Copies of this chain bind each other. A is one copy, B any other.
Amino acid sequence: MNVQVRPQRDQWTGLLQRPELDNTKLEASVKKILQDVKEKGDEAIFHYTQQFDGIAINRLQASQQEINEAISTLPDDLKNAIQLAANNITAFHKKQLSVPEVIETMPGVLCWRKSIGIEKVGLYIPGGSAPLFSTILMLAIPAKLAGCKEIILCSPPGKDGKLHPAILYAAQLTGITKVFKTGGVQAIAAMAFGTASIPKTYKIFGPGNQYVTCAKQLVQQYGVAIDMPAGPSEVCVIADDSCVPAFVAADLLSQAEHGPDSQVLLVSPSEEVVKNVQQELKKQLAVLPRKELAEKALQNSKAIIAKDMQEAVELVNTYAAEHLILSCENDEAIAELIMNAGSIFLGNYSPESVGDYASGTNHTLPTNGYARMYSGVSVDSFVKKVTYQKLTKEGLHQIGKAVELMAEAEGLEAHKNAVTIRMK
């Protein structure tokens, strides 16, 4: 880690800067795939699955038999772990459902708001070495609670043409409507435009590589919404003398193992703490299977020694981390001072990985400084909140004059007249 001792405030922006994400170089190739899928549908999907995943398939949807067979191979203890996580995620997200409440803003003027599930949503789960079945829980559980009618999942097949059993188990457990074996840009295109096999959806969720991220950005031009802009995963730890350096090091490494572009930041008012954490990092890194990935991420990462805890908080608010761990004595008081973060982990027994999997909170969170203005995924992400108003004749008389005056002042005579004609 690159250690910075009490940097001047005018250096902060530079120090806390993330790497620029430039997708423009990919754009041409991503656009070509989007266009191909838009025009040729399934045929283009088969073609790109052959090209990129190296597997010839002629049926995209995973059959129920295929799902059942795969699930039967999954160890029971993993099934139980997934079930436990699903229970906690459900318990936490269920409380995000809102009940419409009618508000009488003036006598006879009734207004209310109702959450309605987005009818069709598409979830994307990347393939590769790690089968991210946990992300299925994080997306499908709130989608189901929100009342989305069609919840489809796309994920790239392995060389054997199959999906990982844990992906299929999580999909079945959470009530996903249909599972499709396709990944990359072609999957995003399919969920945006629809093909003979894959239904068009209104909003697309889920992580992915640079190509998938670029495709999600581009399909917004065709009237499809996406969960949020994406960047590499991040953790920031504020640690004081009350921390356990071995725990802090383990948390930093759990972020670093994601890959060389992972963002890892340690902020502490204590030079001693930073020194001890670094020693622990060395020790733990040595025995890590994904050692090389983590090592590269750590080389690009920073430890900042702040003047005091107040400055540490200011630094962290400037950075706006996806995950923020407060390994400090007054964790609850400090949490109250945080303005910008995706999810906050308080105390010595709340590692990021509990939130990644099973505490109940969502792990799809704003990266790249977007925590300044974006929320993580929640039930809110899967609904639209529709407003309603019903006025009685008397209610209209209560506010009619004000509407007439305002409409007239804005030069909108027909707006005024829609009230006047009813007041006569």
Contact = CB atoms under 8 A, between A and B. Distances in A.
A139 to B, nearest CB: 15
Nearest to A385: B375
A41 B344 CA distance: 36
Contacts of A95: 101, 103
A389 interface: yes
A369 interface: yes
B91 A414 contact: no
Nearest to A223: B369
A341 B96 CA distance: 22
A130 B410 contact: yes
Given A103-B360, A118-B372, A406-B81, A253 B343 contact: no
A88 B113 contact: no
B339 A418 contact: no
Contact of A385 (B105, B339, B340, B376): B376
Contacts of A256: 414
Given A247-B421, A361-B111, A411 B130 contact: yes
A353 B419 contact: yes
Contacts of A422: 247, 250, 348-349, 351
Contacts of A134: 406, 410
A103 B89 CA distance: 11
Contacts of A203: 373
A271 interface: no
A362 interface: yes
A345 interface: yes
A239 B225 CA distance: 31
A387 B412 contact: no
Interface string A216-257: 000010010100010000000000000000110011011011
A84 B138 CA distance: 43
A53 interface: no
Given A339-B119, A418-B352, A389 B290 contact: no
A421 B253 contact: no
Interface string A368-383: 1111111110101001
A122 to B, nearest CB: 11
Most B CB within 10 A of own CB, among A257, A359, A399: A359
A164 B278 CA distance: 60
A254 B347 contact: no
Contact of A387 (B344, B357, B392): B344
A46 interface: no
Nearest to A147: B339
Contacts of A393: 349
Nearest to A336: B114
Contacts of A119: 339-340, 372
B359 A389 contact: yes
25 contacts: A81-B406, A88-B111, A111-B360, A111-B361, A131-B409, A131-B411, A133-B406, A134-B410, A225-B374, A247-B421, A253-B417, A254-B415, A257-B413, A344-B386, A346-B388, A347-B390, A349-B422, A350-B396, A351-B419, A354-B389, A354-B403, A354-B419, A371-B384, A375-B386, A380-B380
Interface of A: 77-78, 80-82, 84-85, 87-88, 91-92, 95-96, 101, 103, 105-106, 109, 111, 113, 116, 118-119, 129-134, 166, 202-203, 220, 223, 225, 229, 246-247, 250-251, 253-254, 256-258, 284, 288-290, 294, 331-332, 335, 338-362, 366, 368-376, 378, 380, 383-393, 395-396, 399, 401-403, 405-407, 409-419, 421-422
